[in-house]
Structure 1
């Protein structure tokens, strides 16, 4: 069970806590770099939720639940792209409208999810945890939102990002001291973006290309 704790000194901000690992595992269920879609259907979603410790063996997962998981994932990916400084274009691979609209829609979806999958505070003398108020798949989705809440309370939610390289959008944890990372790998994705930008400038200015 994922909880939100008041003791925020347990983790260095440069080291990802378990809550970050859970959120990143979830957003990286997408078919990235040729990997399979791990929320493709009800059986696949059930396997992932059980492996993540969010659902018990035998928890009923429907096709509607799998679709809801993919929608929740997409909303989180859009927010993580915003953390990385991505403010243009629609969500990854959706071909939708760009700009702030995609982020606003994602945030609205997450607000609706918060109402659908509420959390309850568990108060002890040592800490306060937010735990899912429901069982089954709603409780599993609530566990993901509890992880997000823990990261926000710890002041490190902005460090959980998605790579700005459009073919990638891999979720990653920003370990830089100034929280400035925009790509999962500067040598790979950062270099790819720089090369595309260079080629675009050359195409836009043939005279400049000729001088080279």
Structure 2
């Protein structure tokens, strides 16, 4: 699931993995979704659906990070997209003597999407869903597992945390300077 969420471009070295059918096909070939037959053909509509599902997932993960730029309506919209994807991409129960798990209920592209949804569901059922977050640093939004004791991490790395802190500091400084200038202008 993290591999799926981290297919978007950022300001660094990551490129958009779902830019076209070739990119999605390549990515699907790199990832194994237990039980799902690989996609033989990928359509343009699959690429659009992959980006929509991924972006909705990242929005929900940003809400786990308490991202101030992620609004409640955006989260509700993302949750609706995930729900519709769940209707289109069936998840199946896999039972054995040793374990119970969820997996794709079909093959192809829909099976890969079902694998993502199954992984998210298993995380939720295990109580770990809130620990799956997206970095609050605007250009990054890298999905990560929050290993902090109190589940308070909001950034994927100290570098992203520093960048966000510096950006906020500069904005406060700029606002203070603008506020000081306007006060001076009002008094003249």
TM-score by shorter chain over 0.5: yes
Matches within 5 A, 1:65-104: 65-89=46-70, 99-104=71-76
Mapped pair 1:161 → 2:133: yes
Distance 1:87 1:130 in 2: 33
Distance 2:169 2:103 in 1: 48
Please name the residue that 1:4 is paired with.
Answer: none
Other structure's SS at 1:205 match: helix
Deviations 1:120-140 (A, max 9, x none): 223333322222221211111
Q: 147-156 or 128-137: which moved more? A: 128-137
Match of 1:179 among 151, 154, 169: 151
Where structure 2 has 5 or more consecutive residues not aligned to the other structure, the ranges are 182-188
Aligned residues between the structures: 178
Mapped pair 1:26 → 2:20: no
Q: Please state how far the C-alpha of 1:36 moved relative to its aligned partner.
A: 2.0
Deviations 1:22-44 (A, max 9, x none): x1111111112132211111111
Where structure 1 has 5 or more consecutive residues not aligned to the other structure, the ranges are 1-22, 90-98
Q: Kindly indicate whether structure 1 or structure 2 has the higher relative contact order, using CA contacts under 8 Å at least 6 residues apart.
A: 1
Q: Please state how far the C-alpha of 1:65 moved relative to its aligned partner.
A: 0.6
Higher helix share: 2
TM-score, normalised by the number of residues in structure 2:
0.86
Specify the structure having the higher radius of gyration (Cα): 2
- The alignment yields a C-alpha RMSD, in angstroms, of 2.1
TM-score, normalised by the number of residues in structure 1:
0.77
Matches within 5 A, 1:30-49: 30-32=8-10, 33-49=12-28
Distance 1:122 1:172 in 2: 26
For the 8 Å contact 1:87–1:100, the answer to whether it is kept is: no
Please name the residue that 2:186 is paired with.
Answer: none
Distance 2:38 2:96 in 1: 29
Q: Please state how far the C-alpha of 1:150 moved relative to its aligned partner.
A: 1.3
Please name the residue that 2:173 is paired with.
Answer: 202
For the 8 Å contact 1:202–1:209, the answer to whether it is kept is: no
Deviations 1:29-86 (A, max 9, x none): 1112132211111111011011101365661111111111111100010011111111
Match of 1:51 among 23, 27, 30: 30
Other structure's SS at 1:166 match: coil
